[in-house]
Amino acid sequence: MIALEPFQTHTVENQPEPFAPDNLYTRDLALCEAVARDGAAWAEPALVAYGAVMAREGLDLGVDANRFRPQLRSHDRYGHRVDEIEYHPAYHRLMQLGVEHGVHAFAWRDPQPGAQVARAVLSYLHHQAEQGTSCPLTMSYAAYPVLAKASGIDPQWLSKASAAHYDPRNRPMAEKMGVTFGMGMTEKQGGSDVRTNSTRASVASDGSYTLIGHKWFMSAPMSDAFLVLAQAAGGLTCLLLPRWRPDGSANALRIMRLKDKLGNWSNASSEVEFCNAFAHRIGDEGRGVATILEMVALTRLECLIGSAAEMRMALTQAAHHARQRQAFGKHLIDQPLMRNVLADLALESEAAMVLAMRVARAVDGGGREPREAAFARLATAVGK
Name, in order, each residue with C-beta under 8 angstroms of 127's C-beta and a sequence gap of 6 or more.
Answer: 134, 305, 306, 309, 310
CA 102 vs. chain centroid, Å, equals 12
Q: Is the dihedral of CA 25, 30, 33, 37 positive or negative?
A: negative
- Low-confidence stretches of the chain (pLDDT < 70) are 1-5
pLDDT tens column, 247-304: 999 999 999 999 999 999 999 999 999 999 999 999 999 999 999 998 999 999 999 9
pLDDT for the residue numbered 369: 87
Class of the CATH domain delimited by 150-288? mainly beta
pLDDT for the residue numbered 1: 53
pLDDT for the residue numbered 191: 80
CA 14 vs. chain centroid, Å, equals 37
pLDDT for the residue numbered 2: 58
Indicate the CATH number for domain 291-383. Answer: 1.20.140.10
pLDDT tens column, 28-56: 999 999 999 999 999 999 999 999 999 99
d(CA 238, CA 8): 64
- Sketch the domain layout of the chain as residue ranges: 29-146, 150-288, 291-383
pLDDT for the residue numbered 341: 97
pLDDT for the residue numbered 4: 59
Integer Rg of the chain from CA: 23
d(CA 359, CA 117): 9
pLDDT for the residue numbered 255: 96
d(CA 279, CA 261): 29
pLDDT for the residue numbered 8: 82
